[in-house]
Amino acid sequence: MTVEEFYPDSDVTQLYDNAQRVLQTFSDVFAEYGVALPSRQFTTWDATENVPVDCEQLTVQVIQAYNGTPGQQAQVPTKCQSGWTATYACQLWRCLPTVFDGTHVPDASQLDAVGKTFMVDAALMRKVACEIDSWGFRGGIMWDLTPLAQNGGYGGTQVNIVALVV
């Protein structure tokens, strides 16, 4: 049985559908600028620190959902008809030059090139957030960018996008 057969009412797949739409927006924006994304791409419902990083990858993780609009405090009572909001933590992981054999250290030019890659990724991730804002959410969206701690030879950038579920 497919998800569509099991859940014929699209209301129950909105969160997933939005996450897939965010993932597709990454592909569209990065392709527009000729920047390749990793082939491993997926959506998940999980805490950001629980997603395994064992290769280059792009993930869209739903890490929070609440009643109300982006920026509205969760403790403020809101009618369910007012809509709901989700936080999508989007992580892009890329290979890093690493020290190997205890003696071969990446030179400054390698580190600078990686820095440029990550900063271009960050700029394009901002463009992804702005493209999502253009979907026409009333009240707009919120987003923030941050570098992620190295993880097994990989470095990452995360953009958190807070938007209405539509």
Domain count, the chain: 1
Can you give the pLDDT at residue 74? Answer: 66
How many Å apart are CA 152 and CA 158, to the nearest integer? 17
CB atoms under 10 Å from CB of 91, counted, come to 19
CATH number reported for the structural domain that contains residue 131 in this entry: 3.30.70
Beta bridge partners of 92: 58, 157
How many Å apart are CA 144 and CA 160, to the nearest integer? 5
Lowest mean pLDDT among 55-59, 104-108, 135-139, 158-162: 135-139
On whether the CB atoms of residues 124 and 35 are closer than 8 A, the answer is: yes
Two structure tokens written together for 24: 């597709």
- Which residues constitute the domain of residue 83? 3-164
Can you give the pLDDT at residue 84? Answer: 81
pLDDT tens column, 11-56: 788 889 999 999 999 999 999 999 999 999 999 998 767 788 889 9
pLDDT tens column, 58-90: 999 999 888 877 877 667 777 777 678 889 999
How many Å apart are CA 64 and CA 45, to the nearest integer? 9
- pTM (global) more than 0.75: yes
How many Å apart are CA 78 and CA 142, to the nearest integer? 19
Q: Which residues contact 22 (CB under 8 A, 6 or more apart)?
A: 43, 60, 88, 90, 128, 132, 161
On whether the CB atoms of residues 131 and 62 are closer than 8 A, the answer is: no
